[in-house]
Amino acid sequence: MYKAVPKAQPGVVGGGQIKYYASIIRERPVGIRKIATEISKMTSLHTTDIFGVLESFLDRMHTYLEEGRIVRLGDMGSFSPAIASYGEDLIEDVDKRTIKRLKVNFRPSMELNDRLSTVKFVKQDVEPIV
């Protein structure tokens, strides 16, 4: 589900011309316990077993990302570590202090992208607030 939201023109004093853009209406986040419970209902495994596997997976993923490795999850996609840093004039000046942040990138697989391409969009029947 999506809604129309007003946005001003960036860099224009007073906002410039307002335009409306589609924006996803986000529902409540889904936690790992809910996922484990739902998987449990689909399999012969107990929720605590699934939760344990997911927690162990998270621990392994952290280790691999910390090592700078890409974690490929088949039809789901892959996670890879990335850093952003300040530019320096000399190679000797590049050290850990020049690193601004570490983040994790997710690249969905073709399978997941194909599944997402079948999503049907429904507009919310509420007028946008101006």
Q: Which pLDDT value is given to residue 32? A: 85
Q: How confident is residue 129, by pLDDT bands cut at 50, 70 and 90?
A: low
Q: Is 96 exposed, middle or buried (0-12, 13-18, 19+ CB in 10 A)?
A: exposed
Query: Which residues, in sequence order, are CB contacts of 68 under 8 Å at separation 6+?
Result: 81
Average pLDDT, integer, range 11-38: 86
Q: Which pLDDT value is given to residue 128? A: 54
Residue showing tokens 């992208």: 113
Q: Which residues on adjacent β-strands are paired with residue 53?
A: none
Average pLDDT, integer, range 64-68: 94
Name the pTM for this structure: 0.69
Judged against a pLDDT cut of 90, whether residue 13 lies above it is answered with no
pLDDT in tens, 74-121: 999 999 999 999 999 999 999 989 999 999 999 999 999 999 889 888
